[in-house]
Chain A
Amino acid sequence: DGGITQSPKYLFRKEGQNVTLSCEQNLNHDAMYWYRQDPGQGLRLIYYSQIVNDFQKGDIAEGYSVSREKKESFPLTVTSAQKNPTAFYLCASKKGTANTGELFFGEGSRLTVL
């Protein structure tokens, strides 16, 4: 079945450690996105990519990094520079790079900093 797979579902990190969240899609979608969700809040855009080897900062990119070496994959690294990384992270993709289109979401990764 086509879809977006995020892993791990739950992740615990000690302060000062970098962690990488995986996002893989087999929908042949061009655009991919990373959002952060805090309790009772909406989604805030971290990074997005419209094409392989290219990506743009979203509204809250500080302390995060991404890569887009393959069309199917868009991993997110939460670095030690991110001061409050505990959150629910959602990856999404969209079919084309034109404005109009729905997002397809993965099931999320919950990161907790101990």
Chain B
Amino acid sequence: SQQGEEDPQALSIQEGENATMNCSYKTSINNLQWYRQNSGRGLVHLILIRSNEREKHSGRLRVTLDTSKKSSSLLITASRAADTASYFCATEKGGSEKLVFGKGTKLTVNP
């Protein structure tokens, strides 16, 4: 079963705007990760946030984690056409080697 569920399923914005994607999960986790996938390609790791962290930044990316609400958000600031891709959250549970992925948010950034 899929642990993380992203929202929205699809998002279309203009270049320069910010894009926010959300992820909800069901059980306690060790960490939550965000990945990016260009069409027809493999996934690329973006950022990992541990369960005891609340916010993390990497370049134009900002990730928040609220363990009380079992949710995370990924913010991409000043988006570019090259940010067009699908974005997945993945959760890693304690005692498990398995990383469980959500269905993803398809982001389109229009030039």
Contact = CB atoms under 8 A, between A and B. Distances in A.
Nearest to B96: A99
Going nearest first, the 6 A-B pairs with the smallest beta carbon separation are A105-B42, A102-B45, A43-B101, A42-B101, A42-B103, A105-B43
A2 interface: no
Interface of A: 4, 6, 31, 33, 35, 40-45, 48, 50, 56, 58-59, 88, 90, 92, 97, 99-100, 102-108, 110
Interface residues of B, number: 29
A100 B97 contact: no
Interface of B: 1-2, 4, 30-31, 33, 35, 40-45, 48, 50, 88, 90, 92, 94-104
26 contacts: A4-B42, A6-B42, A33-B99, A40-B103, A41-B103, A42-B2, A42-B101, A42-B102, A42-B104, A43-B101, A45-B98, A45-B100, A50-B97, A58-B98, A88-B40, A90-B42, A90-B43, A92-B43, A99-B92, A99-B94, A99-B96, A99-B97, A100-B30, A102-B33, A102-B45, A102-B48
